Structure 1
Amino acid sequence: MQNVLLVTVDSLRADRVTDRVMPETAAFEDGTVSFTDAVANGPSTPASFPAIHASRHFASIEGLGIPESGGGIVTLAEQLSEAGYDTAGFTDNHFASGDYHFGRGFDTLHDASGSTEAGRLKQFVQSNLDKEGSLFRTIESVYTRVDGLLSTATGNESEYERAASLNRRAIEWIDDRDGPWFVWLHYMDVHHPYEAPDAYQEAFLDTTRSVSECRALSRKATHHPSEMTDEEWTVLTGLYDAECAYTDAQFRTLLDSLSDMGVREETVTLFTADHGELLGEHGKGGHPPEFWEGTIRVPFVLEGTGNTGEHDGQIRLLDTAPTLTDAVEVDAPPEWQGESALELDDGEGREVAFGDVGRDVDYGRCYVRRADGWKLLRHADNGEHLFDVHETPAERVEDDRLGEELAEESDLGAALDRHSEEMAAMRSGARAVGEESEMVEDHLEALGYK
């Protein structure tokens, strides 16, 4: 049996896999099959990882994560473990950790989030800041300096465990295997606050920024985007690209290590992301609960199947698990909502993709995207939008076709209503971590979702 390697990069936009920013990953696409119209089923880690690991829409589960057991859910790790694979995961994101039951099916799950005293202290500081109103404005600058000093004092010059460290853990684990294995790596480096090592910053910026400066600018873009200047957006974009370049180099190191061990040719490797990122588009930074192309378009590159070339049909993160099991000839369980992307002929795509977040506002935040490029977004208080993203991918105000009495508007609206009803019916049988819990609140704060 072939091994399986799943590499997910937090917050990586599809348009960064280029020779300019991520040349090693772009070169990786040679000899692979690259799906150029892959979309996330949510704009954040909590919304995307049920789709990646369990081929389930986020809105089909009550709460965050997946149920501790059962719940009509089968994970990719469980399915491969049942087929005889050793399984291991390596992550540093609370919402993709064992706290939310993503350890199901893994023999080993390394979760670096909050695992050190410094990490716990920083999480406590972040979780107890009130980011609304004058109090946050008063203490924000002090917090930024303290946060930077904590990192420097502890020797942790990044918010999360670096990709290089996760690589070492994974390679060490793989080296001890005798039979087929499944490894999942989740790199956090591209997630804000974009604090790449100086060598990578120098490729995209005239002047490197300190950890404190990176974090201050990232928080401003995320929490006060209307106050960002054009120059600050330019710097932020350079910092983001520097993190992408760092991650690119680490992904190449991982592939080279597998080659040196003589196992790369025996491995099916998928490189993708849980969602994208906004860098000033629509006046936003980070990944707010909105479904612009910058937030939902992700890379999806698959090596080791014998298939090559670009595939321009729409696929979804929901198709991740079925695609990988298909690639290694393991049956997909009937519980999965996605389908194998390998079943598609060139030019074909999944007719519709849905994304969900914010179930407590009666589906005020969700989207549907059709394979022909028509897309309906529901952004709660910010209203609905209708775009043909193949024709107008920037989704500017003047591109919005809502209200023109087009058939696409009524068709997509009806499809989204049916999807919402179906998800509501499924939630009663699948309960995960309650969204009102103190742990969830802390993790939302720590990752900048609140």
Structure 2
Amino acid sequence: MTDTTLLVTVDSLRYDYYQYMTVTREFLGDSHPATFATNTATPSCFQSIIGGIYPGEVGVDADSNVAVELDSPYKYGISTNRFLSGRYGYNLGFDHFTAPSRHDKGLKDKVAEHMTPQSTLFGVASRVWNAVQGIQRRVSAVDREYRTAADVISEFIDATDDREEWFGWLHFMEPHHPYNPNDGPVSRGEAQQITRRVLNGRASDHDAEIARQLYRGEVEELDYRLERLWDAIPDDTRILFVADHGELLGEYGEWGHHATMCPELLRLPLASRNIPIESDVVSLIDIPTLLLDREYNHGSFQRETAFAASNGNHAAMNRNHVATDDGVVTLDGDSAEDEELMAARAEFEDRADRPVTKDELPEDDLEALGYL
């Protein structure tokens, strides 16, 4: 096995938008055609990506963490999502792990630091802060809501430049909402406002058109930033590039990533370099297996069916179809029939653990990610 291994994960990247990542496609190749999420939200999907397990209660531990298992003298992780932090066990196994800080508190966090996430007072404080923040956006420059890919890549290159052996995990928030790329068709403040309107169901047709342009802009900007990473790492680095889930951009009258079981959320881009992927179907639970080059937890090198569960809904996927409570569709969303896949979905529903729901997650992290 080569001395350098890299896992790159992208939040909310749709399968059909990988086509706009021209630099990354040239470096890694086209996406695997039938890779699927195990859930429709980050906290649960990463139990699979890092732990090789189907989602249950939030977080991972030492028995479900690929970084603990990998034999590497130096392991460096950078997360840009508060649900992927030491609070949830994602720092385990790393020599250095960077995640959004809970100590650099702004006014909102200082007000809330002595409140429990589920308290009424916390909710009131969050709403007051949202109102204050809205005023700030009208009178001053607006920043990105998440740490940028450029910063993440710079930190990682600086940390590994003089090392010959390492494992790296980089998680990027582009193109997670709010969609506000640097070179968008509107200002960043306007972009964030448009994103909120489409997510809240208050958008005009013009808003929806701009929001789709902004989402694509986020994807293309990430691709532009990744060129520096691809140029910097050794040519024989083993690389896996994968999204955690997709994104709805107005399909079914919805935006974002909720519990809707559909190809736009469940079908994922997956590309690799120096890691062969031979299975017709890949599930997120197979990512640790591919990284370790041995089967780990629920992962497999060969699979015919993948499964997902979210908020009481269940899905089964194969190389051609997605089966949900509502029936069967092709990977492009057209109606189809597949009785065997529907039977597999029903069997999975009977035995699957119940993943954590959004209402059960800490409100401070939900609010930081724009869900409250």
* Correspondence for 1:157 among 143, 150, 169: 143
Q: CA contact under 8 A between 2:34 and 2:318: conserved in structure 1?
A: no
Equivalent position amino acid for 1:285 in 2:
W
Relative to structure 1, is the Cα distance of residues 236 and 415 closer, same or farther in structure 2, using a 3 angstrom cutoff? same
Q: CA contact under 8 A between 2:10 and 2:243: conserved in structure 1?
A: yes
Q: Trace 1:427-442 onto structure 2 (pairs within 5 A).
A: 440-442=362-364
Deviation at 1:157, TM superposition (A): 1.9
Q: CA contact under 8 A between 1:37 and 1:312: conserved in structure 2?
A: no
Mapped partners of 2:273, 2:107: distance in 1: 35
Partner of 2:313: 365
Unmatched segments (≥5 aa) in structure 2: none
Q: CA contact under 8 A between 1:5 and 1:268: conserved in structure 2?
A: yes
Root mean square deviation of aligned Cα:
3.2
Equivalent position amino acid for 2:171 in 1:
H
* Correspondence for 2:153 among 167, 173, 183: 167
Q: CA contact under 8 A between 1:123 and 1:446: conserved in structure 2?
A: no
Relative to structure 1, is the Cα distance of residues 440 and 241 closer, same or farther in structure 2, using a 3 angstrom cutoff? same
Q: Trace 1:167-186 onto structure 2 (pairs within 5 A).
A: 167-178=153-164, 180-186=165-171
Partner of 2:13: 12
Relative to structure 1, is the Cα distance of residues 106 and 40 closer, same or farther in structure 2, using a 3 angstrom cutoff? same
Partner of 1:209: 187
Q: Trace 1:48-447 onto structure 2 (pairs within 5 A).
A: 48-58=45-55, 61=56, 63-67=57-61, 69=62, 73-80=63-70, 83-114=71-102, 116-118=104-106, 121=109, 143-146=133-136, 152=141, 157-178=143-164, 180-198=165-183, 201=184, 205=185, 208-210=186-188, 212-222=189-199, 224-225=200-201, 227-258=202-233, 264-305=234-275, 307=276, 313-326=280-293, 331-333=294-296, 336-340=297-301, 350-358=303-311, 364-373=312-321, 375-377=322-324, 384-390=325-331, 393-395=332-334, 399=335, 408=339, 411-424=340-353, 440-447=362-369
Deviation at 1:274, TM superposition (A): 0.7
Partner of 1:261: none
Count matched residues: 364
Mapped partners of 1:122, 1:194: distance in 2: 27
Deviation at 1:418, TM superposition (A): 3.1
Relative to structure 1, is the Cα distance of residues 436 and 41 closer, same or farther in structure 2, using a 3 angstrom cutoff? closer
Mapped partners of 2:134, 2:269: distance in 1: 32
Higher Rg of the two aligned structures: 1
Mapped partners of 2:359, 2:221: distance in 1: 36
Relative to structure 1, is the Cα distance of residues 443 and 283 closer, same or farther in structure 2, using a 3 angstrom cutoff? same
Q: What is the CA deviation profile of residues 391-449 of structure 1, one whole-angstrom value per residue up to 9, with x for unaligned ones?
A: xx235xxx4x7xxxx771xx44543343244334xx8xxxx999877x71221233234
Partner of 1:380: none
Relative to structure 1, is the Cα distance of residues 114 and 282 closer, same or farther in structure 2, using a 3 angstrom cutoff? farther
Mapped partners of 1:436, 1:233: distance in 2: 27
Relative to structure 1, is the Cα distance of residues 145 and 278 closer, same or farther in structure 2, using a 3 angstrom cutoff? farther
Equivalent position amino acid for 1:76 in 2:
V
Relative to structure 1, is the Cα distance of residues 84 and 26 closer, same or farther in structure 2, using a 3 angstrom cutoff? closer
Q: CA contact under 8 A between 1:318 and 1:338: conserved in structure 2?
A: yes
Tell me the secondary structure at the aligned position of residue 448 of structure 1.
coil
Tell me the secondary structure at the aligned position of residue 17 of structure 1.
helix
Q: What is the CA deviation profile of residues 235-289 of structure 1, one whole-angstrom value per residue up to 9, with x for unaligned ones?
A: 000111111111001111111122xxxxx22310111111111111111111111
Equivalent position amino acid for 2:42 in 1:
T
- The reply to whether residue 36 of structure 1 matches residue 6 of structure 2 is no
Equivalent position amino acid for 2:229 in 1:
L
Tell me the secondary structure at the aligned position of residue 64 of structure 1.
coil
Relative to structure 1, is the Cα distance of residues 299 and 113 closer, same or farther in structure 2, using a 3 angstrom cutoff? farther
Q: CA contact under 8 A between 1:272 and 1:298: conserved in structure 2?
A: yes
Give the number of the structure whose residues are more often helix, by fraction.
1
Q: CA contact under 8 A between 1:113 and 1:119: conserved in structure 2?
A: no
Deviation at 1:215, TM superposition (A): 1.6
Q: CA contact under 8 A between 1:270 and 1:303: conserved in structure 2?
A: yes
Q: What is the CA deviation profile of residues 112-148 of structure 1, one whole-angstrom value per residue up to 9, with x for unaligned ones?
A: 25453349649969x8567xxxx97x99776433357
Deviation at 1:169, TM superposition (A): 1.0
Deviation at 1:177, TM superposition (A): 2.6
Tell me the secondary structure at the aligned position of residue 35 of structure 1.
coil
Q: CA contact under 8 A between 1:66 and 1:433: conserved in structure 2?
A: no
Q: CA contact under 8 A between 1:38 and 1:300: conserved in structure 2?
A: yes
Relative to structure 1, is the Cα distance of residues 247 and 120 closer, same or farther in structure 2, using a 3 angstrom cutoff? farther
Q: What is the CA deviation profile of residues 13-62 of structure 1, one whole-angstrom value per residue up to 9, with x for unaligned ones?
A: 111122xx3211221234xx74122111111101210110011011xx3x
**TM (normalized to structure 1)?**
0.72
Tell me the secondary structure at the aligned position of residue 362 of structure 2.
helix
Q: CA contact under 8 A between 1:22 and 1:248: conserved in structure 2?
A: yes
Mapped partners of 2:218, 2:317: distance in 1: 29
Mapped partners of 2:150, 2:313: distance in 1: 36
Q: CA contact under 8 A between 1:144 and 1:216: conserved in structure 2?
A: no
Mapped partners of 1:371, 1:164: distance in 2: 35
Relative to structure 1, is the Cα distance of residues 365 and 175 closer, same or farther in structure 2, using a 3 angstrom cutoff? same
Q: CA contact under 8 A between 2:44 and 2:356: conserved in structure 1?
A: no
Unmatched segments (≥5 aa) in structure 1: 259-263, 345-349, 359-363, 378-383
